[in-house]
A and B are shown apart, each in its own frame.
Chain A
Amino acid sequence: MSVVEETFDVVVIGAGHAGCEAGLACARLGLETIVFTVSMDSVAFMPCNPHIGGSSKGHLVREIDALGGQMGINIDKTYLQSKMLNTSKGPAVHSLRAQADKVMYALEMRRTLAETDHLTLRQGEVTDLIIEDGRITGVKMFSGAIYHCKAAILCTGTYLKARCLYGNVIEHTGPNGLKSANYLTQSLIDHGVEMQRYKTGTPARIDRKSIDFSKMEPQYGDQRVVPFSFTTDPDSIQKEQVPCYLTYTNEETHDIIRAHLDESPIYAGIIEGTGPRYCPSIEDKVVKFSDKQRHQLFVEPESAFSDEMYISGMSSSMPEAVQYEMYHTVPGLENCKITRNAYAIEYDCIKANQLYPTLEFKNIHGLFSGGQFNGSSGYEEAACQGLIAGINAAMEVLGREQIVLDRSQAYIGVLIDDLVTKENREPYRMMTSRAEYRLLLRQDNADLRLSKIGHEVGLISDERYEKLLEKERMIEEEIQRVKTVNIGANEPVQKFLEAHNSIPLKKGMKLAELVRRPELNYQMLADIDPTRPELPEDVQEQVDINIKYEGYIERQIKQIADFKKLEDKKIPEGIDYDDVSSLRLEAQQKLKALRPISIGQASRISGVSPADISVLLVYLEQGKYLK
């Protein structure tokens, strides 16, 4: 029997948030790319929460955009409500979050894929990887078809051997009843890939018409919406926004949960996968934080095309009947009708320490992976890995050098480094506290940090890059001016200061000094700064932040310089750790298993001490590995 046999440069397995970015990156770099999905109708599907961004995740979206990815543009086109979080705090933790219209989000992304040259979207289940001499050469489909390729990217999300559970009901499907992928795991294991099992969960969806919103507190978006994408004109996306609602669980809810705890598959021991602590089910919250009398819930719209509302804060795997009972105790949900049950989902994924920080498998040349398959969680975390895996697969096929973002360059760098270096025991979520250089890794300067790399890779146009250089120049010049301009202690100045509850000047002062006062900022000071040039808002923002927090920023720049020294010390691939006799045994084993690419990465492996690093430095210097 003859089978379909085709040849592409790159095969992408999965069309979720990682797969879409991966596929788009490769195709945009001119490579013939095919993206497989188990269902053509579930491209860029959001199976859980209906929003993009949030604390630190908003940073990731900005970074994706700065590198030439799609997520930011897509949410700008399809948001229902948008809000900048943490605006009362420092600029490093400002974070954008937008409620997405799930239906539109998926459709818009699908259209983008459709309109991209060199990109083919194909329904079908990949069952086997074809690997020859340690290199990926193609994939085999359930139908028997074979697709030859030079590189492949695994973005299987939560679909591998997935099963959904609530109470004693087990459905052998992917999220939302979609077909799971049941064969690829075995092929991966056969090729020496180490797999593990994770779980996550989602709350029920409830019919808007059955909710009494008068018992809840409406939550509105920002007056003026800031776009995610640096390419989106803010004026073009202002629109009427849809509110979310705030309500709470109560003791009655908790009593019901406690009474039925043994019916939860997690507490009954049916679930084998490891779940994330940062998005605990309501059962977990009630058990772990038993002293809390109530838990906050956000009721979020899912789409303009449906009446479904997402009950954020109340994910569960309780039996259907118990779900009704517990949701009914919540103010406003007394008579609610569930449209989709809450459930827990289990799936296969890998231990990401089998990957280089480029997201290529250490043992399989040309095979890359991204997203929940790598043990992360969240749309944004998935998308950014998909983008990096896509870029590097393309670099590999094109014979160019792969890119690695380090911890001082981007949240993406922190995320990937954590995934591939540390021992993670639960789905990994981004958090601002994970980024040690976060004062410099702000969402407002993602373009300044990363678009140069995006341009070199080929995903950022010359035109966009020129604009960036111009922005850089304006910021630099204005900072210099603000540091040198003197403000005299004259009457208008004193009046201005008085009006802003700021101490009057005894004598003249540099403008920069005034910017640093907590009650003032660069933008306000325009009134007493007659020589100020007219500058775009984003430039003004950068000037303000850089001057206001200069002391802290300089400290972090110094720390980064130290960090880079170790990061730049590369460890040659063929190093034989058995030959480094002075290493402690534990360090030797860890290093052998993880094969870090740099001294910096080695130093972050748990069980490798500073003395081991010193020993390693001396060893490398010795040049013994060359023999």
Chain B
Amino acid sequence: MESDTIVAISTAMSNAGIGIVRVSGDEAIRITNSIFQGCDLEKAESHTIHYGHIVVGNETVDEVLVMLMRAPRTYTREDVVEINCHGGVYVLQKVMEAVLSAGARPAEPGEFTKRAFLNGRIDLSQAESVMDLISSTNEYARKSSISQLNGALSKEIKALREKVLYEIAYIESALDDPEHISLDGYPEHLKEVVEPVISDIQKLIDSADDGSLLKNGINTAIVGKPNAGKSSLLNALAKKERAIVTDIPGTTRDTLEEQILIHGIHLNIIDTAGIRETEDVVESIGVKKSFEMMEHADFIIYVVDSSTPLDENDFAIMERIKDEKAVILLNKTDLTSVVTEDMIREHSSHKILPISAKNLTGLDALEEEIKHLFFHGDLRMNDEVYITNERHKYALVSSKKSLELVLRSIEDDMPEDFYSIDLMDAYKSLGDIIGESVEDDLVEEIFSKFCMGK
């Protein structure tokens, strides 16, 4: 029943060489063909493999093998194209972007499987697991959505949406009550509002391109009691390795974050507030947030101050990270230590490494451990973040297109009611990014901002 064409990277986003970008839907073959050089895929037989290149403009993105499968003998029972790339994560992303700009849209969580099921491909007995897959992947996507991971960006999107909504509400009030509210000279005003919004969105699209919209990589939280040396550790890592610019211009960050590349593995490191029992309201909010961060993190670095005795707070943290991927750092080896590895091992089975963030000792061992975990598959890059990022970018591009249509309608002298159609589309697309639907926003806005009625 759903036939629009979807795309996703269907292999784990590890740094392994080979990965697959999968495209499914009525237009799968035509879309792939438009970015493929090698042969004419539209004329190719079903279930054949073709060698060639993915080319965008004049740039060759990757050397690929394309597997072409026509409906119905495919996983989804739709036309499916699988593009086998071998340029690593970065190239996979580029190929996926090329497919997106050729007309596909990013797949929703579990969508390939859902289609397979709805098209009768999967056995009825599997329905239960399909439903679970959809709701669990969706739950995960929700957790890793921008508003959870990047409060600053979420605020920015909200601000843009508000501007757009205000204009829609103004137009709609004028249409509803033409004798009260006039649209004389309005198009010029609207143009002045829309143009900067478009350039703001463009900036966000650019930041999506350089990976800082949502940071791809392993979300790593540094946790510990106050003064355990969390920030020093972050600084030490950042000093030693290449710290990558993470912030979006003009926004403020909620938590301190750095992206660090260790042996080719991206880590998004989040420094959290120190954890301790506290009566202080402000501090307790920070503590609560630290626990939330732990929940969203893929990897936890727990820093213990070896110069002060373990207490309730340490035990609470260790209990909390029991089932998580984590490493425990015994910091401040430069001072007299009162905490030993054995004392911690009584409470935790995680790997323990002695370090001194101050003297930069022990960091190599930490990096080795991370590398070890990653290449043994214990630690995986958060695929969902990348996919979410792609979806957000797609939504940003859609909203920009809609706003450009508004400008064109103004140029073409279209009646004002047409503006609000495209403005609404832009508003909706922006809402997709922060997971907010339209509901009754418009009607609320009209009544709260404009005085109308008998």
User: Which of A's residues lie within 8 Å of B, judged by CB?
Assistant: 48-49, 55-56, 85-86, 88-90, 92-93, 203, 276-280, 285, 288-289, 292, 295-296, 298, 312-313, 315, 422, 431-434, 436, 438-439, 518-519, 549, 552, 565, 569, 580-584, 606, 609-612, 614-615, 617-619, 621-624
Interface of A is mostly: loop
Contacting A at CB under 8 A, from B419-454, are: 420-421, 424, 439-440, 442-443, 446-448, 451-454
- The reply to whether B134 and A432 contact each other, CB–CB distance below 8 Å, is no
Give 5 closest A-B pairs by Cβ, nearest first. Answer: A90-B415, A611-B138, A582-B131, A279-B453, A518-B413
Contact among A48, A433, A583, A618 with B130 in the assembled complex (CB-CB below 8 Å): A618
For residue B422, which residue of chain A has the nearest CB?
Answer: A552
Q: Which of B1-42 contact A (CB under 8 A)?
A: 1-2
Residues of A within 8 A of B454 (CB): 48-49, 203, 279, 312-313, 315
Q: Is B108 an interface residue (CB 8 A)?
A: yes
Q: Are B418 and A432 in contact (CB under 8 A)?
A: no
Q: Do the beta carbons of B114 and A618 come within 8 Å of each other?
A: yes
Among A49, A277, A612, A614, the one with the most B-chain Cβ atoms within 10 Å of its Cβ is: A614
Q: When A49-B454, A609-B138 are in contact, do A90 and B417 touch as well, CB less than 8 Å?
A: yes
Shortest A99–chain B CB gap in Å is: 13
Most buried by B among A285, A296, A315: A296
Q: Would A289 and B131 be within 8 Å (CB), given that A56-B176, A90-B415, A433-B420 are in contact?
A: no
Question: Given the known A-B contacts A292-B451, A565-B1, A618-B127, are A55 and B138 also in contact in the complex, defined by CB atoms under 8 Å?
Answer: no
Number of A-B contacts (CB under 8 A): 130
Q: Is the CB of B417 within 8 A of A92?
A: yes
Q: Which residues of B contact A619 (CB under 8 A)?
A: 127, 131
Query: Which of B128, B135, B453 touches A583 (beta carbons < 8 Å)?
Result: B135
CB distance from B409 to the nearest CB of A (A): 9
**Are A433 and B175 closer than 8 Å at their CB atoms?**
yes
- CB pair A615 B439 closer than 8 Å: no
Cβ contact within 8 Å between A584 and B124: no
Instruction: State whether A277 touches B447 (Cβ < 8 A).
Output: yes
- Given A89-B175, A619-B127, A622-B124, residue A288 in contact with residue B440 (CB < 8 A): no
Whether B132 is near chain A, meaning CB under 8 Å from some CB there, is: yes
Q: Which of A86, A289, A622 contacts B451 (CB 8 A)?
A: A289
Cross-chain contact of B418 among A49, A552, A583 (Cβ < 8 A): A552
Sample (19) of A-B pairs whose CB atoms are under 8 Å apart = A55-B175, A56-B176, A90-B417, A93-B415, A93-B417, A292-B451, A295-B451, A422-B440, A432-B176, A433-B172, A549-B418, A581-B131, A582-B132, A582-B135, A606-B439, A609-B138, A611-B138, A619-B127, A621-B118
Please, what's the 1-or-0 string for B294-307, where 1 marks a CB less than 8 Å from any CB in chain A? 00000000000000
Q: Which of B119-140 contact A (CB under 8 A)?
A: 124, 127-128, 130-132, 134-135, 138-139
Which residue on chain B has the smallest CB distance to residue A291? Answer: B451
Q: A92-B417, A606-B439 are in contact. Are A617 and B175 (CB under 8 A)?
A: no
Once bound together, how far apart are the Cα atoms of A431 and B108, in whole Å? Answer: 33
CB distance from B54 to the nearest CB of A (A): 29
When distances are taken between beta carbons in the complex, the residues of chain A under 8 Å from B176 are: 55-56, 431-433
Minimum CB–CB distance from A163 to chain B (whole Å) comes to: 21
Is B127 a contact partner of A90 (Cβ separation < 8 A)? no
Nearest residue, chain B, Cβ from A277: B447
A132 to B114, CA, bound (A): 44
Would you call B451 and A518 a contact (CB within 8 A)? no
Q: Choose one: A93, A433, A584; the contact of B442 (CB below 8 Å).
A: A433
Alpha-carbon gap, A581 to B117, bound state (A): 17
Please give, as numbers and ranges, the residues of chain A lying within 8 Å of B117 by CB-CB distance: 618, 621
Q: Tell yes or no: B383 within 8 A of A by CB.
A: no
A581 to B129, CA, bound (A): 11
- Kindly state whether residue B416 has any CB partner on chain A within 8 Å: yes
Once the chains are docked, how many angstroms separate the CA of A313 from the CA of B454? 4
Whole-angstrom distance between the alpha carbons of A606 and B109 in the complex? 21
Q: Enumerate chain A residues within 8 angstroms of B168, measured Cβ to Cβ.
A: 433
Q: Can you add 19 more A-B contacts, CB < 8 Å, to A55-B178, A619-B131?
A: A92-B417, A93-B175, A93-B415, A276-B453, A518-B413, A552-B418, A552-B421, A569-B1, A581-B128, A582-B131, A584-B135, A611-B134, A611-B139, A612-B135, A614-B114, A617-B118, A618-B127, A618-B131, A622-B124
Bound together, the chains give a CA A542 to CA B273 distance in angstroms of 65
Contact of A432 among B138, B172, B448 (CB under 8 A): B172
Closest partner residue, chain B, to A300 (CB atom): B454
Which residues of B have CB within 8 Å of A86? 175, 178, 417
Residues of chain B with a CB closer than 8 A to A583's CB: 135
CB distance from A226 to the nearest CB of B (A): 16
CA distance A86 to B171 in the complex (A): 12
A610:B451 contact, CB within 8 angstroms: no
A93 CA to B453 CA in the complex, in Å? 17
